């Protein structure tokens, strides 16, 4: 990203923060001034008279300064993009937490979805999709990259997806479906075979892309032979559900209810992880911050595709049951065959990216005509 675009993005975000903080402070001020009871409903969050004039003045000055600075920075040369730095971890985290806001406000810090190809095109194509708050370069961990290793040993061509993880999973899935259609259509090797390897949220994006592509009549879903999930929260992540409880507790008192707005800063992508949303109807026409039960449409695994699920036995972000697609409601359980479920004792969420045994398993199942291997489960996993 060119320095001028970075500067514009950062300043816009700073002004957004001032606007949001002003709303929070005014809301607390209004509720305290109204002498509300410690529990129950508060005011509408707006003050009146001189006090209201002060808060409105802050907003007015903030808006004017934002417009002036944005116009000034817009006059700087944008560059040709030829010498843009590699995506940073900080930018990936920022997009994971606030990516939907960045995209909606057209902030230059919003990450556009793109594909990065490594090596010469081969018949066997491997698409790798990263997880929440990460980027395509973070497949390399402790000097190991599953995609690079599989390219060397099995002659596969890795293509890395980089995307804004703060957007809704289904929005990213729809865009990815279109990119994969174009990729396969332009791939120079005839009858290329497609495998997808996805980590964490990336697995939900992959399932969403397949669903959209199949519904829209794309050709690429028929080319997908194998789909491998590493620590994917197929049925949600408990930390997001915990966050919604925290908001509810804060909202119980009018004195601190405005602070609950800070919890609403978390992105659409993060709230999709509450239950593992993959389709528009899973979140459409619903307050994503309100407490509600699992309302997802049933989305089974792709028919006719060899699907594998990996879980870390010490993963505190994604429970083993969620990663393996297990669910107490049989209709919601994902039908991974038993030999294609794998649990690694002692592995956390990110160990799945570089553990030697995980890679050995990947290499085995991706070797052409490899026999199926049974599930390995360790005690305590």
Same domain, 342 and 283: yes
Highest mean pLDDT, choosing among 51-60, 161-170, 372-381: 161-170
Q: Is the model's pLDDT at 29 over the cut of 80?
A: no
Residue that terminates a domain, selected from 70, 85, 100 = 85
Q: What is the CA radius of gyration of the chain?
A: 23
Q: String of b and e for 82-93 (b: at least 16 CB within 10 Å)? A: eeeeebeeebbb
Q: What is the pLDDT of residue 94?
A: 79
Please give the Cα distance from 194 to 201 (Å, whole number): 20
Cα dist from 135 to 132, 156, 211, 267, whole Å: 8, 21, 23, 16
Cα dist from 60 to 8, 65, 104, 373, whole Å: 20, 9, 21, 65
CATH number of the domain where residue 281 is located: 3.40.50.1820
- Residue 196's beta-bridge partner residues? 127, 227
Same domain, 118 and 254: yes
- Return phi, psi of residue 214, to 5°: -65, -40
Please give the Cα distance from 47 to 29 (Å, whole number): 7
Same domain, 36 and 123: no
Q: What is the pLDDT of residue 303?
A: 93
Q: Is the model's pLDDT at 377 over the cut of 70?
A: no
Same domain, 151 and 220: yes
Residue that terminates a domain, selected from 85, 105, 132 = 85
Same domain, 70 and 133: no
Which tens digits make up the pLDDT trace of 146-158?
A: 999 999 999 999 9
Name 46's Cβ contacts closer than 8 Å, sequence gap at least 6: 26, 30, 52
Which tens digits make up the pLDDT trace of 198-220?
A: 999 999 999 999 999 999 999 99
Number of structural domains (the chain) is: 2
Pairing of strands 114-117, 157-162: antiparallel
Residue among 268, 148, 138, 129 nearest 200 (CA): 129
Q: Please report which confidence band the pLDDT of residue 287 belongs to, taking 50, 70 and 90 as the band edges.
A: confident
Q: String of b and e for 340-378 (b: at least 16 CB within 10 Å)? A: bbbbbeebbbbbbbbbeebbebbeebbeeeeeeeeeebe
Please give the Cα distance from 254 to 42 (Å, whole number): 5
Which tens digits make up the pLDDT trace of 331-351?
A: 999 999 999 999 999 999 999
Same domain, 254 and 367: yes
Q: Is the model's pLDDT at 371 over the cut of 70?
A: no
Residue that terminates a domain, selected from 85, 115, 144 = 85
Same domain, 129 and 81: no
Same domain, 117 and 145: yes
Cα dist from 91 to 1, 10, 265, whole Å: 10, 11, 16
Average pLDDT over residues 286-301: 83
Same domain, 132 and 278: yes
Q: Using an 8 Å Cβ cutoff, are 243 and 213 in contact?
A: no
Same domain, 36 and 120: no
Scanning 164-200, the segments in alpha helix (DSSP H) are 169-186
- The domain of 181 spans 88-381
- Return phi, psi of residue 364, to 5°: -65, -45
Q: Is the model's pLDDT at 264 over the cut of 90?
A: no
Q: Tokens at residue 240, please?
A: 């997001």
Same domain, 251 and 346: yes
Same domain, 168 and 291: yes
């Amino acid at each position: 990203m060119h320095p001028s675009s970075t500067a514009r993005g950062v300043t816009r975000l700073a002004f957004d923060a001032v606007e949001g903080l002003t709303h929070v402070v005014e809301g607390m001020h209004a509720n305290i001034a109204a002498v509300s009871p410690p529990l129950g409903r508060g005011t509408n969050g707006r003050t009146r008279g001189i006090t209201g004039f002060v808060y409105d003045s802050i907003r007015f000055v903030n808006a004017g300064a934002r417009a002036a600075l944005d116009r000034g920075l817009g006059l700087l040369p944008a560059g040709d993009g030829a010498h843009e730095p590699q995506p940073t971890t900080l930018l990936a985290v920022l997009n994971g937490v606030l990516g939907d806001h960045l995209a909606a406000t057209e902030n230059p810090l919003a990450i556009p979805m793109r594909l990065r190809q490594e090596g010469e095109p081969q018949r066997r194509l491997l698409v790798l999709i990263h997880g929440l708050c990460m980027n395509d370069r973070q497949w390399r961990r402790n000097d190991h990259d599953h995609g690079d290793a599989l390219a060397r040993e099995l002659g596969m061509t890795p293509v890395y997806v980089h995307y804004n993880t703060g957007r809704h999973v289904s929005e990213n899935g729809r865009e990815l479906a279109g990119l994969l259609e174009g990729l396969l259509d332009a791939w120079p090797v005839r009858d290329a075979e497609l495998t997808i390897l996805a980590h964490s949220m990336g697995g939900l994006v992959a399932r969403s892309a397949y669903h959209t592509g199949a519904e829209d009549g794309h050709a690429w879903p028929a080319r997908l032979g194998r789909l491998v999930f590493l620590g994917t929260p197929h049925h949600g992540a408990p930390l997001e559900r915990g966050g919604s409880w925290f908001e509810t507790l804060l909202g119980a008192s009018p004195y601190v209810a405005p602070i609950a707005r800070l919890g609403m800063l978390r992105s659409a992508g993060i709230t999709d992880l509450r239950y593992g949303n993959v389709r528009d109807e899973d979140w459409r026409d619903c307050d994503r911050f309100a407490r509600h039960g699992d309302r997802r449409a049933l989305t089974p695994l792709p028919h006719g595709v060899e699907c594998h699920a990996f879980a870390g036995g010490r993963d505190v972000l994604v429970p083993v049951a969620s990663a393996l697609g297990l669910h107490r409601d049989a209709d919601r359980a994902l039908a991974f065959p038993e030999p294609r479920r794998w649990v690694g004792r002692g592995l956390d969420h990110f160990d799945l990216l570089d553990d030697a045994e995980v890679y050995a398993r990947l290499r085995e199942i991706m070797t052409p005509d490899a026999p199926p291997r049974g599930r390995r489960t360790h005690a305590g996993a």
